[in-house]
């Protein structure tokens, strides 16, 4: 009986997710969303342990600032390669075959490994110059701890950069589940080390981050090999395909630089406030990161290959229909969710984080930060969809201009809102930036479609 019911469910699922492009996107989004939810739950588990062990103390402040620059460079260097390469990779694979796509991938790996190695070296040797600027409110002892943590975390830049590109290639082959589930390894490693190596203190968290990244990279590499994709970097010359990627990469890296700089600015301004502000800002964003990451990752990961295919085939009616359907879906789902987080923010923080070193005194400010961050959810997710369509159109320079606008707006609003609302003003500034960004990208898309 159970076997028959399972077979019926599988058949129903295939009916729902086969056929039209919208059905395929729905199936991919649900797959990515389910596995992303599992990963986010593991990340929550790790955050509970971190809050219990370190609260809003100096150790977690130092770790977050040490992680700030590696995360920034991963987004800028590797994330830009991902965004610049995938539309061209899919077009080459569809029009010229797998062998041509393999040559493009191998060439991009040579290029990306060189940039990641240079970025890692510069990040470490220039740390004595930039860390005192980023962490201006830190005491000498706290700054020294930040230096030591950065040295441990540094390999993550190289390893995670490779992961981002390999995961994107798996998704381009519509192998969504593994790439979505693999990130569960790092929080699991971190949680195990925090519980079993308590004498290591905050260094257990840094070590778990590096070990998890290495294991994730290994798993993705095995998956690509099973898809008969060679991981060996090989240079075939700077051909037309690589020129197309580089043409998209230059504006993309500028856009990623400006966009990722908003986090750098937020954390730096928090570090200038009272001790524990960096940690409080981080905790306030963690719960919101669950629906934010779940919806945006699931939809964006699922929709990118299909957008790229439709654009390559000049199927503009299909593109418009798909975008309208999913924008409507985004707002229908996320607005009630946003209201829930706003009205029950303090209760959520008390239930999830108030234990151990995270005391009741920390709850009100973290709850206000969380409520302000929650207001960005509909606009952020809708903006992600439009941004990925713009990438598929190979108009990445628009994202560069938008990201520059976002950074300037973020700096101005941070300064103003911190004066009026204190630390939670940084979260409110982020929400306003994503609202304005969505309006800007929508205006561009509307103007571009008038010519289609």
Cα distances from 282 to residues 75, 154, 270, in angstroms, run 18, 20, 10
Token readout for 245 is 């990627």
Average pLDDT over residues 289-308: 67
Look at residues 122, 147, 121, 125 and name the one whose alpha carbon lies nearest to residue 134: 147
> Does residue 64 have a pLDDT over 60?
yes
* CA 441 – CA 402 distance, rounded (Å): 7
Question: What's 175's DSSP letter?
Answer: -
What secondary structure does DSSP assign to 6-46, as a single string? HHHHHHHHHHHHSSSHHHHHHHHHHHHHHHHHHHHHHHHHH
Looking at residue 151, its pLDDT comes to 92
Beta bridge partners of 355: 358
Look at residues 194, 207, 211 and name the one whose alpha carbon lies nearest to residue 54: 194
Residue with token string 């990340």:
43
* CA 292 – CA 352 distance, rounded (Å): 18
More confident residue, 259 or 118: 118
* Cβ count within 10 A of residue 124: 16
Looking at residue 307, its pLDDT comes to 66
* CA 228 – CA 250 distance, rounded (Å): 30
* Cβ count within 10 A of residue 380: 24
pLDDT winner (highest mean) among 206-210, 245-249, 398-402: 206-210
Average pLDDT over residues 194-212: 88
The count of residues in the chain is: 452
Average pLDDT over residues 84-92: 73
Among 96-105, 114-123, 139-148, the minimum mean pLDDT is found in 96-105
Task: Give residue-wise pLDDT tens across range 232-278.
Answer: 777 776 777 777 777 666 666 666 665 666 777 888 788 787 777 88
pLDDT winner (highest mean) among 59-68, 291-300, 338-347: 338-347
For residue 446, with 0-12 CB atoms within 10 Å meaning exposed, 13-18 middle and 19 or more buried, which class applies?
Answer: exposed
| Pair 43, 187: CB distance under 8 Å | yes
Looking at residue 148, its pLDDT comes to 92
> Does residue 49 have a pLDDT over 50?
yes
pLDDT band with cut points at 50, 70 and 90 for residue 179: low
Looking at residue 276, its pLDDT comes to 76
Mean pLDDT of the chain: 78
User: Phi and psi dihedrals of 355, rounded to 5?
Assistant: -165, 155
For the question of whether the overall pTM of this predicted structure is more than 0.85, the answer is no
For residue 138, with 0-12 CB atoms within 10 Å meaning exposed, 13-18 middle and 19 or more buried, which class applies?
Answer: buried
Task: Give residue-wise pLDDT tens across range 1-32.
Answer: 445 444 554 454 455 445 555 556 555 556 66
């Amino acid at each position: 009986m159970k076997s028959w019911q399972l077979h019926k469910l599988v058949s129903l699922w295939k009916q729902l997710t086969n056929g039209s492009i919208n059905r395929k996107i729905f199936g991919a989004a649900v797959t990515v969303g389910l596995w992303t939810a599992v990963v986010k739950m593991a990340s929550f588990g790790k955050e509970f342990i971190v809050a219990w062990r370190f609260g809003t103390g100096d150790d977690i402040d130092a770790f977050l600032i040490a992680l700030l620059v590696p995360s920034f460079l991963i987004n800028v260097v590797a994330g830009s390669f991902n965004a610049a390469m995938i539309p061209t990779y899919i077009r080459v694979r569809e029009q010229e075959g797998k062998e041509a796509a393999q040559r493009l991938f191998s060439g991009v790996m040579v290029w990306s490994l060189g940039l990641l190695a240079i970025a890692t070296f510069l990040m470490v040797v220039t740390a004595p110059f930039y860390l005192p600027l980023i962490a201006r409110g830190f005491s000498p002892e706290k700054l020294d701890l930040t230096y030591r943590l950065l040295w441990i975390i540094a390999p993550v830049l190289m390893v995670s950069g490779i992961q981002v590109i390999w995961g994107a290639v798996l998704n381009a082959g519509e192998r969504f589940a593994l790439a979505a589930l693999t990130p569960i390894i790092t929080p699991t490693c971190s949680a195990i080390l925090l519980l079993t190596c308590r004498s290591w203190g905050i260094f257990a968290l840094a070590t778990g981050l590096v070990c998890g990244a290495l294991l994730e990279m290994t798993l993705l590499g095995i998956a690509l090999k099973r898809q008969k994709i060679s991981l060996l970097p090989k240079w075939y010359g700077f051909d037309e395909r690589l020129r197309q990627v580089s043409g998209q990469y230059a504006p993309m890296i500028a856009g990623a630089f400006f966009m990722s700089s908003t986090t750098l600015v937020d954390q730096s301004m928090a570090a200038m406030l009272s001790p524990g502000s960096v940690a409080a800002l981080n905790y306030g964003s963690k719960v919101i990161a669950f629906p934010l990451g779940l919806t945006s990752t699931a939809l964006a990961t699922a929709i990118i290959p299909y957008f790229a295919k439709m654009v390559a085939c000049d199927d503009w009616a299909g593109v418009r229909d798909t975008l309208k359907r999913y924008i409507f879906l985004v707002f229908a789902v996320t607005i009630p969710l946003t209201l829930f987080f706003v009205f029950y923010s303090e209760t959520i923080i008390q239930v999830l984080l108030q234990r151990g070193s995270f005391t009741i005194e920390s709850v009100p400010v973290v709850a206000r930060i969380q409520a302000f961050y929650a207001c960005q959810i509909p606009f952020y997710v809708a903006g992600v969809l439009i941004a990925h369509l713009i990438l598929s159109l190979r108009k990445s320079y628009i994202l560069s201009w938008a990201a520059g606008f976002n950074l300037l707006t973020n700096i101005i609003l941070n300064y103003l809102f911190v004066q009026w609302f204190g630390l939670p003003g940084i979260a409110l500034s982020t929400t306003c930036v994503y609202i304005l960004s969505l309006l800007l990208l929508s205006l561009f898309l509307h103007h571009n479609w008038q010519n289609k």
